[in-house]
């Protein structure tokens, strides 16, 4: 292994360790004290931990290990060593936090003793009585979960856990993987309603999942936003010159046939960041007032001038 590859692996494992530690912090300090279950084996473990007290980490590892084994047998060896390492690290960090911190909330409106709690509306957590601040705690939990899982993804590991159930169901059904993940996580989230008879718990759990998904995209993809433009114009050379000389971008030119008149038309395909797109739109009207432009969001752009292609 050369020095460059060794450095990348070292950074990847640092991200994996940091992501696993953050995930444990989010679960033990923010999600569990508020009796929420934002999907995954740790979400279900939070519910089990409250209904039948046992450590979250032990519940989770008892589900994660069999799921990894079953998933490997059914789906093949697609779960790499980093996913296994991540599973172990999250278990260890969660276990340590449970043993040292307990299940006390970080965000709350005050912690009270039994006498004080009897005289006010308070929630009972494993660490005592506290006045909850659901909204702020939900936002912070979503941010922490998102950064944690984003770092784990950046390291090259996968989430494993309940996602394996979705992968197995996907193999034997025609339902898309994304839909199955949503169904599985929603079922786990709804266990809070069944266990605690409180409708706001699954609602806040879903908010956590939504915030988490947005933060994962930011961590994995970055803040750079790209747009893909399809430009149909009679002044193809002038538009081409503007893109190349003023925006310093490349593109591809296609030949096609118009549906209405059947005449031959030429179209430019180009991918730009948000700033360059604004420049293009503000100038193309002067080049060709009759130009037709279709702009679409690009989830990910790889190749020369953009994000590097992934290595094996």
pLDDT in tens, 164-177: 888 788 778 877 76
Give per-residue pLDDT as tens, 10-64.
988 999 999 999 999 999 999 999 999 998 899 999 999 989 989 999 999 999 9
Report which listed range, 83-97, 205-219, 243-257, 294-308, is most confident.
Answer: 83-97
Q: Please, is 294 exposed, middle or buried when counting C-beta atoms within 10 Å of its C-beta (0-12, 13-18, 19+)?
A: exposed
Higher local confidence (pLDDT), 300 or 94:
94
Over residues 235-255, mean pLDDT: 86
* Helix residue ranges per DSSP H, the chain: 3-25, 40-51, 56-75, 81-100, 114-117, 134-154, 163-172, 177-196, 200-221, 236-241, 274-287
Give per-residue pLDDT as tens, 81-93.
888 898 999 999 9
For residue 270, pLDDT over 50 is answered with yes
The model's pTM is 0.76
Distance CA 138, CA 147 (A): 14
Confidence band (pLDDT; 50, 70, 90) for 311? Answer: low
Q: Which of 27, 161, 17 is CA-nearest to residue 94?
A: 27
Distance CA 254, CA 291 (A): 15
Q: Do the Cβ atoms of 88 and 13 come closer than 8 Å?
A: no
Give per-residue pLDDT as tens, 132-191.
889 999 999 999 998 998 898 888 777 677 778 887 887 788 777 667 877 888 889 999
User: What is the pLDDT, as a whole number, of residue 312?
Assistant: 52
Higher local confidence (pLDDT), 139 or 219:
139
For residue 271, pLDDT over 50 is answered with yes
Over residues 239-248, mean pLDDT: 86
Distance CA 104, CA 254 (A): 61
Distance CA 181, CA 209 (A): 12
For residue 254, pLDDT over 70 is answered with yes
Distance CA 179, CA 166 (A): 9
User: What is the pLDDT, as a whole number, of residue 177?
Assistant: 65
Q: Do the Cβ atoms of 149 and 39 come closer than 8 Å?
A: no
Set out the domains of the chain in order of their start, with CATH numbers: 3-221 (no CATH), 226-298 (3.30.70.120)
Confidence band (pLDDT; 50, 70, 90) for 309? Answer: low
Residues 122, 128, 132, 135: is their CA dihedral positive or negative?
Answer: negative
- % of the chain exceeding 70 in pLDDT: 87
Distance CA 281, CA 284 (A): 6
Over residues 215-240, mean pLDDT: 82
What residue has token string 């060593």?
81
Q: Do the Cβ atoms of 79 and 150 come closer than 8 Å?
A: no
User: What is the pLDDT, as a whole number, of residue 121?
Assistant: 47
Question: What is the residue-averaged pLDDT of the chain?
Answer: 83
Report which listed range, 90-99, 192-201, 267-276, is most confident.
Answer: 90-99
User: What is the pLDDT, as a whole number, of residue 122?
Assistant: 47
- % of the chain exceeding 90 in pLDDT: 29
- Tokens at 283, concatenated: 């100038």
Give per-residue pLDDT as tens, 230-241.
888 888 888 888
Higher local confidence (pLDDT), 261 or 151:
151
Distance CA 113, CA 280 (A): 64
For residue 120, pLDDT over 60 is answered with no
């Amino acid at each position: 292994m050369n020095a460059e590859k060794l450095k990348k692996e070292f950074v990847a494992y640092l991200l994996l360790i940091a992501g696993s530690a953050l995930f444990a912090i989010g679960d033990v300090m923010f999600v569990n004290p508020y009796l929420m279950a934002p999907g995954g084996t740790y979400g279900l473990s939070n519910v089990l931990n409250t209904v039948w007290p046992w450590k979250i980490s032990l519940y989770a590892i008892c589900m994660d290990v069999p799921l990894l084994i079953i998933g490997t047998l059914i789906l093949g060896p697609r779960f790499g060593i980093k996913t296994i390492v991540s599973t172990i690290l999250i278990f260890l960090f969660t276990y340590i936090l449970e043993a040292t911190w307990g299940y006390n909330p970080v965000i709350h409106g005050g912690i009270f003793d039994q006498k004080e709690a009897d005289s006010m509306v308070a929630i009972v957590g494993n660490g005592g009585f506290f006045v909850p601040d659901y909204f702020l705690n939900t936002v912070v939990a979503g941010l922490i979960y998102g950064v944690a899982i984003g770092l784990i993804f950046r390291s090259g590991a996968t989430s494993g856990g309940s996602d394996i159930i979705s992968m197995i169901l996907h193999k034997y059904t025609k339902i898309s993987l994304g839909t199955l993940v949503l169904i599985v996580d929603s079922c786990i989230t709804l266990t809070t309603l069944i266990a605690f008879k409180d409708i706001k718990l699954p609602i806040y759990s879903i908010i956590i999942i939504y915030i988490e998904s947005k933060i994962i995209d930011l961590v994995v993809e970055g803040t750079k936003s790209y747009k893909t433009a399809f430009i149909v114009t009679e002044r193809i050379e002038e538009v081409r010159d503007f893109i190349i000389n003023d925006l310093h971008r490349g593109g591809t030119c296609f030949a096609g046939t118009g549906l209405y008149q059947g005449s031959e038309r030429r179209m430019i395909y180009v991918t730009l960041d948000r700033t360059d797109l604004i420049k293009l739109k503000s100038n193309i009207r002067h080049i060709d007032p009759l130009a037709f432009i279709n702009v679409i969001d690009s989830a990910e752009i790889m190749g020369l001038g953009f994000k590097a292609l992934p290595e094996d």
